[in-house]
Chains A and B, each alone.
Chain A
Amino acid sequence: MRLKFVLSLLLIGVCFNSLAETEPGVVTVTSDLYSEPDRNLPAQTLVKADTRVTILEHSGVWYRVELDTPEKERGWIWFNVQPVSNISWLERLRRVMRGGYSTQEPTSVATIGIRGLGPGDIKKANPDPQAMAAMDRYRSNPDKARRHAGSAGLRSQNIAYLIVSSEPESESDTSSGDQFGVPSR
């Protein structure tokens, strides 16, 4: 009797432990899969958006995943994975008892990290003058901006705004000198 009780506890513990380490997710944007969490490495494969994955590990904005494909390929995806984190413990238990939830369609996805802005959040907020003062400190000026651009080899050039017509023009008009003319609306 006692042994059965201990085994049951052990089984439940294993179930929840595995849940804590793995979680279903979805790839939100077609993304590269890397062997290590380093975008300087060559990608091992391209994972299409909406591919279901099992999240094996989460480090910063890197996710180590196993693709929900026959090959079960494993690797790291940068940022573009969203865990299904709005499942109650009861639902988790129900799905575990049913044989896992990796085959379930996620009904919704959750944001990563802090909660995003919802309807009414900006209006309800208190203005933050200190943050505005910080913005003043970060402000650039034309000379600094030119140095910044120059360091990346960027050069300014004269290009006219796009001509909106049913038949696109074949050439942009760079000879008029009217670089800053706001296009007609």
Chain B
Amino acid sequence: MKIRLIIMFATFSLLLGNMIHVSADWGKALEWMEKGAEKLIEHKDAFIEISEPREIELGKGMSAQLLGAAPLIDNTGLQQFVNDMGMWIVLQAERPNLPWRFGVLDDNDINAFAAPGGYVFISKGLFMLMRNESELAGVLAHEISHVLVKHHLEDIQERAQSGVLKDLGSMAAEELTGPKWNKVVKQLINTGVDVWESGLNRDDELEADRMGVVIAARAGYDPYGLVGVLHTLSLISPQSKSYQLMYETHPPAAERVQQLNRLMQGQLDRYASQAQTTGRLIALQQQLEQ
């Protein structure tokens, strides 16, 4: 990206230099320079920054696609519980004003998803593995962290540079409206689904773990809830089909446990006696067992 900007700037300077040399038309040169600078700014906006409304739109599109593949569980009490809990956790973090939504998918695989703009999903399979609320809080806080620091958005942008955005050439940001933006956003949604299926990079996952335990602790939960979930996952056979997608798209659970145990010791130990809370969660799980 930087290289592209440098080349554009160099080309522009060359053109400018030629123009000054040949015609000495300073007024026109300045006009060109001004237009070029504007173009560079527009280019930067189009290819580097995706505004928050567009981030939300992208996440909404990805979520609709996910729900087309795995519907929400039809249980209002459960969905409201997860939304109340998720919102409480979000209030402890940096972007509380996003339109946060949480959902439990009717999918017995073990997985969780986050989409840009504040969409978080947990599969029924993973929900049923939770032994207490602090574990669920750890999972939600991990996914929330991906949204907070825009892991998926950055990955989508990076992948799109060589795909859909490259094809647009030097199109300015404001030109990406209406049908053109609609076309682009569809391709970005597809890229986002690719990110889900291939996974974020290892560092992003480990960062979300580090942030997740802290955010859960801020919400009053035992921060070791996430460690408990990861420990459970580390015991599941990688051959288990219900764990396959998560296993293939995340660093080994044992490595994640190791990182957290090392970092939390001395920094979060004092919060280990915080609430784990089981009653409400087990009641909901029992409803799903019916």
Residue of B nearest to A127 (CB): B64
Q: Which residues of B contact A20 (CB under 8 A)?
A: none
Q: Chain B's nearest CB lies how many Å from the CB of A111?
A: 4
Would A125 and B68 count as touching, CB distance under 8 A? Answer: yes
Does B200 touch A at the CB level, under 8 Å? Answer: no
A135 and B88 contact, Cβ closer than 8 Å, known pairs A159-B214, A160-B214: no
Residues in chain A near residue B237, CB distance under 8 A: 26, 28, 49-50, 109
Q: Are A111 and B85 CB-contacts (below 8 A) given A128-B71, A136-B101?
A: no
Q: Digitize A157-185: 1 where CB-to-B-CB distance is under 8 Å, 0 elsewhere.
A: 11111111000111110000001101101
A149 contacts B61, C-beta separation under 8 Å: no
B51 contacts the other chain (CB 8 A): no
A61 in contact with B128 given A29-B232, A82-B242, A128-B71 (CB within 8 Å): yes
Contact B87 A140 (CB under 8 A): yes
Q: Which residues of A contact B109 (CB under 8 A)?
A: 111, 116-117
CA distance A164 to B214 in the complex (A): 13
Interface of A is mostly: loop
A161 touches B63 (CB 8 A): no
- Residues on B with beta carbons closer than 8 Å to the beta carbon of A160: 214
The answer to the question of A144 belonging to the interface, with a C-beta cut-off of 8 Å to chain B, is yes
Contacts of A109 in B (CB 8 A): 237, 239-242
A128 / chain B contacts, CB cutoff of 8 Å? 64, 67-68, 71
Number of A-B contacts (CB under 8 A): 226
B91/A157 in contact, CB under 8 A: no
Contact with A82, one of B69, B207, B240 (Cβ below 8 angstroms):
B240
Total contacting residues, chain B, CB less than 8 A = 89
B8 within 8 A of A: no
Which residues of chain B are within 8 angstroms of A124 by Cβ–Cβ distance? 69
Q: CA separation between A57 and B102, bound complex, in Å?
A: 34
The reply to whether the CB of B235 lies closer than 8 angstroms to some CB of chain A is: yes
User: From residue 83 to 141 of chain B, which have CB atoms closer than 8 A to chain A?
Assistant: 83-88, 90-94, 96, 99-103, 106-109, 111, 119, 123, 125, 128-129, 133
9 closest A-B pairs by beta carbon, nearest first, are: A116-B109, A125-B68, A154-B220, A148-B84, A145-B87, A127-B64, A125-B69, A131-B67, A140-B87
Cross-chain pairs A/B with CB under 8 angstroms, 22 sampled: A28-B236, A108-B239, A114-B107, A118-B245, A122-B68, A122-B193, A122-B197, A127-B67, A131-B67, A132-B60, A136-B101, A138-B79, A139-B101, A140-B83, A140-B84, A141-B87, A149-B220, A153-B275, A154-B219, A172-B268, A172-B270, A183-B211
